[in-house]
């Protein structure tokens, strides 16, 4: 029997429990590529899976972890061979397919993206699903036609993972970025990533007006609920908002007014089932358009043992930037 260490979520009488366990390689699920995992990371969804705060795990036992960076160990898939450096984001990993917090992952070759040549596995996981989602969001705003000349862009959930990468990307692309945060103490951090103005979270959590004073050309929203509704009502004529998160709630108490009276567009961003060509485009852009020193400054590293504590912190909105998990 060949076993390896893994962070496994089990079902219990009262809910779920996550703990480090020895996992038998023979119990890995079907797939045509086996990857030696070098790094993973902690996303909000990983926090939900590990704490059991929301039912994201749909199979038990489950190895948690939605993001992998590592090296192909063996492959029967035409596109991949032993030694290839790869990234995997989503596709149900850590939810319905055994995930990333383990020394090995067996996956479908169709799910993999090649690690950009100038990027390390650790850097790819410092980006992770959060950063790749930030990139998808920026691309959506660009496709809408927004440019730095359009006006300032608001980023909500600014000090979190999606928010931090979104700020760094937008500022490198020349946009004026307003960071919306509940953590005033992170103002210097957010400015160091490229935010020109810090907006208190409270400015977007009050009662939602159908139309408020036009403030931003666009937005990237990781929070949802009242925050997204207020952001829409404050978006300028012809602007656009990319909605990617629900850290503040799943609801959306808005009206049609921003859409039909100001022509505002709301773009939905999904990273999990996003088609491969869009992923490849996003990772190509991340290689060139994300400032690596800023990425390093927003990232800290933990081991598998630290996952339960960090999971609790991320669902409580207390993690700043990105957390990579060193594996193997």
Which residues, 6 or more positions from 203, have their beta carbon under 8 angstroms from its beta carbon?
180, 230
Q: What are phi and psi of 67, to 5 degrees?
A: -125, 135
DSSP, collapsed to helix, strand or coil, labels residue 254 as coil
How many residues are there in the chain?
328
**Nearest partner of 220 among 311, 104, 130, 117, judged by Cα:** 130
Specify the stretch interacting with ligand NDP by CB under 6 A; choose among 24-32, 111-119, 191-199, 263-271. 263-271
Nearest distance from C-beta of residue 163 to ligand NDP, angstroms: 6
> Considering only residues 314, 324, 325, 327, which one is a binding residue for ligand NDP as defined by CB under 6 A?
314
Tell me the per-residue interface mask from 192 to 211 with ligand NDP, x by CB under 6 A, - otherwise. Answer: ---------x----------
Place of tokens 């890995």: 28
> Considering only residues 43, 51, 171, 178, which one is a binding residue for ligand NDP as defined by CB under 6 A?
43
> Considering only residues 10, 24, 251, 270, which one is a binding residue for ligand NDP as defined by CB under 6 A?
270
Angle CA 187–214–181, to nearest 5: 20
Nearest distance from C-beta of residue 9 to ligand NDP, angstroms: 17
Nearest distance from C-beta of residue 182 to ligand NDP, angstroms: 4
> Considering only residues 5, 183, 292, 300, which one is a binding residue for ligand NDP as defined by CB under 6 A?
183
Nearer to ligand NDP by Cβ, of 21 and 187: the residue is: 187
Nearer to ligand NDP by Cβ, of 144 and 183: the residue is: 183
User: Alpha-carbon distance 79 to 284, whole Å?
Assistant: 18
User: Alpha-carbon distance 191 to 167, whole Å?
Assistant: 9
Specify the stretch interacting with ligand NDP by CB under 6 A; choose among 157-165, 206-214, 255-263, 293-301. 157-165
Using CB under 6 A as the binding rule, whether residue 178 contacts ligand NDP is answered as no
Nearest distance from C-beta of residue 195 to ligand NDP, angstroms: 11
Nearer to ligand NDP by Cβ, of 150 and 164: the residue is: 164
> Considering only residues 227, 233, 235, 299, which one is a binding residue for ligand NDP as defined by CB under 6 A?
227
Rg (CA), the chain: 20
> Considering only residues 40, 45, 215, 234, which one is a binding residue for ligand NDP as defined by CB under 6 A?
45
> Considering only residues 150, 181, 233, 254, which one is a binding residue for ligand NDP as defined by CB under 6 A?
181
Q: Binding residues for ligand NDP, how many (CB under 6 A)?
A: 32
Closest residue to ligand NDP using C-beta atoms: 160
Nearest distance from C-beta of residue 226 to ligand NDP, angstroms: 8
User: Alpha-carbon distance 33 to 96, whole Å?
Assistant: 17
Q: What are phi and psi of 200, to 5 degrees?
A: -65, 135
Using CB under 6 A as the binding rule, whether residue 279 contacts ligand NDP is answered as no
Specify the stretch interacting with ligand NDP by CB under 6 A; choose among 38-46, 54-62, 79-87, 251-259. 38-46
User: Alpha-carbon distance 114 to 107, whole Å?
Assistant: 14
Residue ranges in the chain assigned as alpha helix (H): 44-51, 121-144, 161-172, 187-193, 225-233, 257-262, 276-289, 292-297, 307-315
Segment (H or E) for 247: none
Q: How far is CA 275 from CA 160, 269, 271, in A?
A: 25, 12, 9
Angle CA 153–118–192, to nearest 5: 35
Binding-site ranges for ligand NDP (CB under 6 A): 43-45, 129-130, 133, 157-163, 181-183, 201, 222-223, 227, 244-248, 269-272, 314, 317, 319
């Amino acid at each position: 029997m060949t076993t390896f260490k893994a962070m496994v979520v089990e079902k219990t009488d009262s809910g779920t429990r996550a703990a480090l366990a020895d996992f038998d390689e023979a119990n890995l699920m079907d797939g045509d590529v086996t990857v030696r995992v070098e790094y993973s990371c902690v996303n909000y969804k990983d926090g939900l899976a590990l704490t059991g705060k929301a039912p994201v795990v749909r199979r038990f036992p489950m190895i948690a972890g939605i993001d992998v960076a590592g090296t192909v160990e063996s492959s029967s898939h035409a596109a991949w061979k032993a030694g290839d450096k790869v990234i995997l984001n989503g596709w149900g990993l850590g939810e319905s397919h055994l995930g990333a917090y383990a020394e090995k992952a067996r996956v479908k070759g169709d799910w993999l993206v090649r690690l950009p040549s100038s990027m390390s596995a650790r850097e790819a996981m410092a980006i992770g699903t959060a950063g790749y989602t930030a990139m998808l969001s920026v691309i959506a705003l660009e496709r809408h036609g927004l440019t730095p000349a359009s006006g300032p862009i608001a980023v909500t959930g600014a000090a979190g993972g999606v928010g931090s990468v979104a700020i760094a990307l937008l500022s490198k692309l020349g946009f004026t970025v307003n960071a919306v945060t509940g953590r005033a103490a992170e103002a210097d951090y957010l400015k160091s990533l490229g935010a020109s103005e810090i907006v208190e979270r409270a400015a977007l959590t009050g009662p939602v007006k159908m139309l408020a004073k036009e403030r931003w050309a666009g937005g990237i929203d990781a929070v949802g609920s009242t925050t997204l509704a207020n952001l829409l009502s404050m978006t300028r004529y012809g602007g656009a908002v990319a909605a990617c998160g629900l850290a503040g709630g799943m609801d959306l108490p808005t009206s049609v007014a921003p859409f039909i009276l100001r022509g505002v567009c709301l773009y939905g961003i999904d990273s999990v089932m996003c088609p491969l060509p869009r992923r490849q485009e996003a990772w190509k852009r991340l290689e060139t358009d994300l400032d690596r020193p800023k990425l390093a400054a927003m990232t800290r590293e933990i081991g598998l043992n630290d996952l339960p504590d960090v999971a609790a912190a991320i669902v409580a909105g207390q993690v700043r930037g990105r957390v990579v998990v060193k594996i193997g």
